[in-house]
Chains A and B, each alone.
Chain A
Amino acid sequence: MGNVLVFAEHHGGKLAKAALISVQAGKLLATRSGVECHAIVLGKGIEPLANELAEYGVAKVYAAEDGAFEHYTADAHAAALAQIVKEKGFETLLAASTAVGKDLLPRVAGLFEVGMASDVLHFNDDGTMTRPMYAGNVIATVSLDSNPRVISVRTTAFDAATKDASKGSVEKISVSLPATATRTKFVEFSETKSDRPSLTDARIVVSGGRALKSGENFKTILEPLCDVLGAAMGASRAAVDAGFVPNDLQVGQTGKVVAPELYIAVGISGAIQHLAGMKDSKIIVAINKDPEAPIFQVADYGLVADLFKAVPELTEEIRKLKAS
């Protein structure tokens, strides 16, 4: 059987947490199949990252340097991955289902004309996998009959890999990219600036819904609560669509999936599409003035109250608690 190759994502000169999660999933799958787990880093000036990644219990890390990888594009990255998978005879290609993973992996699968499993939650002993469908209303057991097997994993379903005593080797490789690899031009990235922890890494997430009524209220009502808790901020689709907060704060079926230790939903009704992105959180708190709101059905603790009164009070109470 061929080995497992994990695509390791990085941003701003750092390995993404999602990369370490995908490594963990790759190692699990490799151990189960009695093969090795390797990883690959694509980029410019990525040798230090490859060296670092080799400490996380992968047998080998490939480092592919090329100017064409400076900004991620599906064209260049997919062509490179397909080439390496083919040359080295990998039978599984795996990555986290982040925005990059979602863009990239199906394209690689397309280059091989093979199928793909997205958002995998669990690998079963018989080679089947589970994945959510219908906004998490269904947990499907699926089989993937293809070579290579292309798999993306849901980041909330696996732990991040930790450093391992045995250091893997690092191999520098070069890829010969087709002319089409550079046809897509990166123009710009407008980053959502924030000093808070990122939504998918945070221990605590505070999300606001349509009931917040304005971006201004997100700042004056919700931000102080985030700050006192050291929490990341999230939002429902309704709040994002209304322009209260940036797009990448959307939690849900078609936004980010989070599973923090504590999730506080403020003025969010609890539509199935929202629940799909947060119902695996350890503790869920809901603050909503409607006692019938569906969010209360998944909440461990519910507070029926007007958020404009309750949230400032909550912020103040927590501040007192932290000070004592």
Chain B
Amino acid sequence: MKVLVTVKRVPDPNATIRVKPDGTGIVTDNLKYVVNPFDEIAIEEALRIKEKGGGAEVVLVSIGAKSAAEQLRTGLAMGADRAILVVAEHDLDPLAVARVLRKLVEQEKPDIVLMGKQAIDDDANQTGQMLAALLDWPQATFASKKESLESEAEKNGLPGIQLGNGRATVVREVDGGLETLELPLPAVITVDLRLNVPRYASLPGIMKARKKELKEIPIAELGTDTTPRLRVLRSDPPPKRQAGRIVESVQELVQVLHNEAKVI
């Protein structure tokens, strides 16, 4: 079993994002970057498949600036086996990323591509589904599990994605409940928040990661069209809400909601 896990370098979700006054993007000075939180969950799931789900080689892939090596090292420190960085200094849209990933999948021939459901910078929620289509593979998006993150199964680090007989059984978070799908491998699976709680990299893990293979490939070498079809022309801050006021009591709250806001 080989699992390819995609890792995107994104701004820390706890960082304050400010738009540049000229509308050309966000202010990146002193911005801290992390592994896209959903991708951390994908790495964790791959490691659980490796450790408790029948074994696997876990290969990480990132596409972006050289600085993304930092996020790949984090994933290697968590326990992944090796990493590939496709170096691209220009902006890529989800289609371009999916096209690059198709090339890598053709080379690496994984059984599963595990991805985040959404990158928290572009909030697109597209790349996994696009890749599945490009490969003509089945997909299961928003993978979750029935057990809660407080459950015994979670404490024991069991994988949520069940594998067997060349198939995957995936519980998905959908509108109105949880859906279970069964699909043949190879497949693309994207993960949601409740699939697992990712581990931290341990100190020995960090030491070991330094010696693991991290291969850089210039994007041009892959010979893929990566012209973005979706372009961000301008960035603006969202409209600001009017400041409200503090009410002194429950009675006053009910009174203003009834008489002033007229919503109850």
A interface residues (Cβ-Cβ under 8 A, vs B): 11, 73-75, 78, 97-100, 102-111, 113-119, 128, 132-146, 180, 183-192, 198, 200, 204, 229, 237, 240-243, 246-248, 250, 253-254, 261-262, 272-273, 279, 282-285, 291, 296-305, 310, 313-314, 317-318, 321
Contact = CB atoms under 8 A, between A and B. Distances in A.
B235 A110 contact: no
Given A187-B169, A241-B149, A253-B123, A317 B254 contact: yes
Contacts of B245: 300-302
Contacts of B141: 74, 102-103
Contacts of A105: 129
B169 A297 contact: no
Top 6 nearest A-B pairs (CB, nearest first) are A110-B133, A115-B229, A243-B148, A106-B129, A110-B130, A106-B126
Nearest to A192: B177
A113 B263 CA distance: 47
B205 interface: no
B121 A134 contact: yes
B21 interface: no
24 contacts: A102-B141, A104-B129, A109-B133, A110-B129, A115-B95, A117-B230, A118-B126, A134-B121, A136-B238, A137-B237, A139-B235, A139-B237, A142-B232, A145-B230, A185-B182, A248-B175, A250-B193, A254-B192, A273-B13, A300-B242, A301-B246, A301-B256, A303-B249, A305-B250
B176 A248 contact: yes
Nearest to B136: A180
Contacts of B263: 204, 261-262, 282-283
A165 B98 CA distance: 44
A111 B183 CA distance: 19
A138 B129 CA distance: 24
Contacts of B138: 74-75, 180, 183-184
A262 B134 contact: no
B174 interface: yes
B95 A138 contact: no
Nearest to B175: A99
A143 B233 contact: yes
Given A184-B182, A253-B120, A301-B257, A74 B129 contact: yes
Nearest to A121: B238
Interface in B203-250: 228-238, 241-247, 249-250
B139 interface: yes
A114 B228 CA distance: 10
Interface residues on B, range: 35 or more
Given A241-B193, A285-B257, A301-B244, A135 B123 contact: yes
A303 B120 contact: no
Contacts of A116: 94-95, 124, 126, 130, 230
Contacts of B38: 254
A118 B123 contact: yes
B2 to A, nearest CB: 20
Nearest to A189: B179
Contact of B134 (A113, A240, A253, A298): A113
A146 B94 CA distance: 13
Contacts of B98: 110
Contact of B174 (A99, A242, A285): A99
B232 A146 contact: no
A75 B183 CA distance: 10
A144 B229 contact: yes
B152 to A, nearest CB: 12
B51 to A, nearest CB: 23
A152 to B, nearest CB: 9
B144 interface: yes
A156 B130 CA distance: 25
B254 A318 contact: yes
A225 to B, nearest CB: 11
B126 A109 contact: yes
B84 interface: no
B132 A132 contact: no
A99 B94 contact: no
A118 B95 CA distance: 13
A188 B129 contact: no
A46 B120 CA distance: 37
Interface in B28-87: 38
B11 A134 contact: yes
Nearest to B96: A115
B212 to A, nearest CB: 30
Interface string B106-121: 0000000000011011
B178 interface: yes
A108 B123 CA distance: 18
Contacts of A109: 95, 126, 130, 133
Contacts of A113: 95, 99, 134
Given A118-B123, A138-B237, A188-B179, A143 B231 contact: yes
Nearest to A276: B123
Given A186-B179, A248-B175, A299-B244, A114 B233 contact: no
Contact of B182 (A97, A187, A291, A314): A187
Contact of A279 (B127, B179, B231, B241): B241
